[in-house]
């Protein structure tokens, strides 16, 4: 018998091994981890299958697998099928694809056990016993255990400055105490769960539609304006799934995994909730994964990579903010967690609910085509009113550090009413770059085709693409003049300008730099809720997922950046961004207003968005895409190549183009062309875009190109990657 093993290396085939001694076919299950010798290393691979008739390789040259690590496998046959599909669809090596479903410790071969914390606990007998006269330390342990419902964690005992083991052993030998493993439920036993809200009519009909579909596959798109009560619908659906004994998976953008959201779930459900966020260490990640895989945690909340987590009793997948581009992994295994989640739900035979205030055009198109059922929440829940939009034409205005007079007046009025203001600018740092006022020299990165960003707090110039940093020069490197000025506006500069304009008004800047320290974002959010800050300045970090009941004025300082971009998705992104930011305003009883500063007040996208809302915008945007045969009315794949010289990157892609031409395929090829950022960290980047109305011919061609690519001499000089359904064309 020969084992076929997928090894996590960038090779597209599996490897043959002889089974470990004494392996019978009953021990084998597809998807099980297998420890195998690979070159000079030992690696953890995954069992793809086995063959009675042997291998193309002579038996004498076959190596023997060292061990089958899982019996049974940790993945169900359906989970395995989803991974096979993902490997085929994204043309990504199977071993690496499967590995991405496992936490790092399991990929390294750790046993699938949770290493639960151990506690020293009283036994029933110990509870009843008369302690009588015992050694002092035994008495101390007995008293301590009587006070602690779930015993004393060994970690606490180990921290004592005396040896607890001898007295504990005496108690254990008498049968009064024992060491037990305690599952970390995080729940205190007396906790009650908070009751559900009474759903309004729109919420109730969305809930009913999904609840009626539990037990089989169905896909739903829940389009609900911000504050319309989507999360409440999720909560009640999760509750319905739990009542049926199932498990629910809630996927969110990492940025949306806010303490507020988690707290809402913890208050509602007195059950263990497995939360996957980037702050977990590896043992915690393993424990969370196993608690879902084993069925102990009925609820999983996580970001993109949690989509592959096996569930013992799958019941429902919910993916919130489904339009968010962070669901697409942008490196390595470039999968879309949204699309994988839909495939997974189909395979598992459970419903999937995609939610957003601003659904992606892809999902709206799926809804129009009848593949998803379209559910709508048009009104805000509770008392909150929709915000009022106002375009401020800044062409003829003298701006004070990016602030127009009407905006300054509106801020003053809002502060006078003792309400909060949120100013949005999607550029961190002090200014996007510095310019020489004498000769026009602009600070650029030596290794990238990009400007260096001024960070004034530390007087540094930084490249946001390669991480290069240097002190801000005192004189112009080109002409020697000393008149170097910041050019443009970033969050830091805006913060300083506001401090001058509104002295004494506490302001808070929230961006990646100001929240680098762990816990600082939570502290700042708390300051906002306690109204210790009245002006909030933020990047998109502030635009998503947070509720700010006292914010009644929201302003976007520069909406124009997204209006004239070469990326065909820029309009969609801009519309989504505007509505997400606007959604922060006036969520409580006071209505909110939104000011958009623009130099293009007649721009059709802006006007349509303001007059007709997102649905009107989306309808127009979809017909434009259809007319131009762009996604979702066609399908794309992007080959990227990079090398130390531009010709090497280009010639690999030219070769691929030539091979494609030989096949006679009718897939459209665009390029090779320089990437939007043609040079990054000293490497030249080119790309080749493939496009077709139908998926099948595109994927046939991709398969053909990938069969050939590793044999091409050009790959020695250039690194390449393939992105199926690319979201960012660079």
* Residues near Zn ion (CB under 5 A): 436, 438-439, 441, 445, 447-448, 463, 465-466, 468, 476, 478-479, 481
Complex with ligand ADP: residue 203 or 597, whichever CB lies closer = 203
Please give the structure tokens belonging to residue 119. Answer: 């506690």
Does position 197 interact with ligand ADP (CB under 6 A)? The reply is yes
In 3D space, the residue among 77, 729, 8, 727 whose CA is nearest the CA of residue 337 turns out to be 727
> Is the Cβ–Cβ distance between 140 and 191 less than 8 Å?
no
Query: Which residues make beta-bridge pairs with 595?
Result: 390, 555
Least distance to Zn ion from the beta carbon of 479, Å?
A: 3
Complex with ligand ADP: residue 241 or 675, whichever CB lies closer = 241
Least distance to ligand ADP from the beta carbon of 619, Å?
A: 22
Does position 199 interact with ligand ADP (CB under 6 A)? The reply is yes
Does position 716 interact with ligand ADP (CB under 6 A)? The reply is no
- DSSP-assigned states of every residue in 608-622: HHHHHHHHHHHHHHH
- Of these partners, Zn ion, ligand ADP, none, which one is at the site of residue 261 (CB under 5 to 8 Å by kind)? none
3-state per-residue secondary structure call for 320-360? ECCCCHHHECCCCCCCEHHHHHHHHHHHHCCEEEEEECCCC
Helix, strand or coil, per DSSP, at residue 4: strand
Instruction: Determine the interface stretch with ligand ADP among 178-186, 195-203, 478-486, 714-722 (rule: CB under 6 A).
Output: 195-203
Helix, strand, coil percent values for the chain (each to nearest 5): 35, 25, 40
Counting Cβ atoms within 10 Å, is residue 32 exposed (0-12), middle (13-18) or buried (19+)? buried
Complex with ligand ADP: residue 170 or 211, whichever CB lies closer = 211
Least distance to ligand ADP from the beta carbon of 323, Å?
A: 14
Backbone angles phi, psi at 689, to 5 degrees: -100, 135
Complex with ligand ADP: residue 272 or 382, whichever CB lies closer = 382
Please give the structure tokens belonging to residue 88. Answer: 């085929």
> Is the Cβ–Cβ distance between 134 and 142 less than 8 Å?
yes
Contacts of 717 (CB under 8 A, 6+ apart): 643, 645, 648, 651, 652
Binding to ligand ADP (CB under 6 A): which residues in 370-399?
381-382
Complex with ligand ADP: residue 228 or 365, whichever CB lies closer = 228
Helix, strand or coil, per DSSP, at residue 106: helix
Complex with ligand ADP: residue 254 or 413, whichever CB lies closer = 254
- Of these partners, Zn ion, ligand ADP, none, which one is at the site of residue 675 (CB under 5 to 8 Å by kind)? none
Query: Which residues make beta-bridge pairs with 122?
Result: 177
- Of these partners, Zn ion, ligand ADP, none, which one is at the site of residue 677 (CB under 5 to 8 Å by kind)? none
Helix, strand or coil, per DSSP, at residue 221: strand
Least distance to ligand ADP from the beta carbon of 360, Å?
A: 17
- Of these partners, Zn ion, ligand ADP, none, which one is at the site of residue 378 (CB under 5 to 8 Å by kind)? none
Candidate residues 118, 139, 200, 294; the one interacting with ligand ADP per rule CB under 6 A: 200
Site track for ligand ADP across 202-221, x = CB under 6 A? -x------------------
Binding to ligand ADP (CB under 6 A): which residues in 224-253?
224, 226-232
- Of these partners, Zn ion, ligand ADP, none, which one is at the site of residue 203 (CB under 5 to 8 Å by kind)? ligand ADP
Interface with ligand ADP (CB under 6 A), residue total 15
Query: Which residues make beta-bridge pairs with 300?
Result: 249, 274
Q: Please report, as ranges, the residues that interact with ligand ADP according to CB under 6 A.
A: 197-200, 203, 224, 226-232, 381-382
């Amino acid at each position: 018998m020969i084992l076929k093993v997928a090894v996590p290396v960038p090779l597209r085939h599996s490897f043959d091994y002889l089974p470990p001694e004494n392996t019978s076919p009953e021990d084998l299950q597809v998807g099980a981890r297998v420890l195998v010798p690979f070159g000079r290393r030992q690696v953890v691979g995954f069992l793809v299958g086995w063959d009675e008739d042997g291998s193309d390789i002579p038996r004498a040259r076959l190596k023997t697998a060292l061990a089958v690590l899982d019996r049974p496998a940790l993945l169900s046959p359906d989970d395995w099928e989803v991974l096979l599909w993902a490997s085929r669809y994204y043309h990504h090596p199977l071993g690496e694809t499967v590995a991405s479903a496992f936490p790092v410790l399991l990929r390294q071969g750790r046993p699938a056990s949770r290493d639960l914390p151990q506690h020293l606990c009283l036994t029933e007998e110990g509870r009843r016993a008369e302690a009588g006269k015992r050694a002092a330390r035994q008495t101390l342990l007995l008293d301590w255990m009587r006070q602690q419902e779930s015993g004393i964690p060994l970690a606490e005992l180990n921290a004592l400055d005396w040896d607890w083991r001898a007295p504990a052993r005496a108690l254990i030998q008498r049968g009064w105490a024992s060491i037990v493993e305690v599952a970390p439920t995080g729940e205190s036993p007396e906790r009650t769960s908070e009751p559900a809200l009474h759903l309004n009519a729109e919420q109730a009909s969305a809930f009913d539609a999904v609840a009626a579909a539990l037990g089989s596959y169905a896909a739903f798109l829940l389009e609900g304006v911000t504050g319309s009560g989507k999360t409440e619908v999720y909560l009640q659906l999760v509750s319905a799934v739990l009542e049926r004994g199932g498990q629910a998976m809630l996927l969110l953008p990492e940025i949306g995994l806010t303490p507020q959201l988690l707290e809402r779930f913890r208050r509602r459900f007195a059950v263990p909730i497995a939360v996957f966020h980037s702050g977990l260490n590896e043992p915690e990640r393993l424990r969370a994964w196993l608690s879902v895989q084993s069925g102990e945690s009925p609820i999983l909340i996580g970001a993109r990579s949690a989509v592959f987590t096996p569930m013992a009793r799958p019941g429902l997948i919910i993916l919130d903010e489904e339009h968010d581009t962070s669901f697409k992994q942008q490196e390595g295994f470039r999968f879309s967690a949204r699309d994988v989640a839909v495939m997974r739900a189909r395979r598992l035979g459970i419903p999937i609910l995609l939610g957003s205030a601003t659904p992606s055009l892809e999902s709206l198109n799926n809804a129009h085509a009848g593949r998803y059922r379209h559910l709508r929440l048009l009104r805000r829940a509770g008392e909150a009113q929709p915000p009022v939009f106002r375009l401020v034409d800044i062409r003829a205005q003298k701006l004070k550090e990016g602030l127009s007079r009407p905006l300054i007046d509106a801020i003053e009025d809002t502060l006078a009413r003792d309400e909060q203001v949120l100013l949005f600018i999607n550029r961190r740092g002090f200014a996007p770059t510095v310019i020489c006022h004498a000769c026009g020299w602009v600070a650029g990165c030596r290794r990238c085709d990009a400007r260096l960003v001024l960070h004034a707090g530390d007087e540094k110039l930084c490249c946001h693409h390669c991480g290069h940093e240097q002190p801000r020069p005192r004189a112009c490197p080109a002409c020697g003049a000393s008149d170097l000025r910041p050019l443009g506006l970033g969050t830091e500069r805006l913060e300083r300008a506001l401090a001058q304009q509104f002295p004494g008004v506490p302001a808070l800047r929230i961006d990646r730099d100001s929240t680098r320290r762990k816990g600082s974002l939570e502290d700042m959010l708390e300051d906002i809720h306690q109204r210790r800050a009245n002006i909030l300045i933020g990047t998109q970090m502030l635009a998503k997922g947070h509720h700010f009941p006292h914010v009644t004025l929201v302003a976007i300082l520069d909406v124009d950046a997204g209006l004239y971009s070469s990326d065909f998705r820029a309009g969609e992104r801009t519309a989504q961004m505007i509505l997400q930011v606007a959604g922060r305003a006036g969520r409580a009883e006071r209505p909110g207003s939104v000011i958009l500063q623009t130099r293009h007040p007649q721009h059709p996208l802006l006007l349509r968005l303001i007059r007709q809302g997102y649905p009107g915008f989306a309808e127009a945007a979809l017909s434009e895409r259809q007319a131009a045969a762009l996604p979702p009315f066609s399908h794309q794949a992007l080959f990227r190549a990079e090398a130390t010289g531009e010709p090497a990157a280009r010639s690999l892609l030219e070769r691929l183009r030539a091979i494609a031409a030989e096949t006679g395929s009718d897939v459209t090829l665009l390029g090779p062309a320089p990437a939007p950022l043609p040079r990054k960290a000293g490497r030249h980047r080119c790309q080749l875009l493939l496009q077709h109305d139908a998926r099948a011919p595109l994927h046939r061609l991709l398969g053909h190109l990938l069969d050939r690519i590793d044999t091409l001499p050009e790959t020695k000089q250039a690194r390449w990657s393939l992105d199926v359904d690319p979201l960012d064309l660079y």
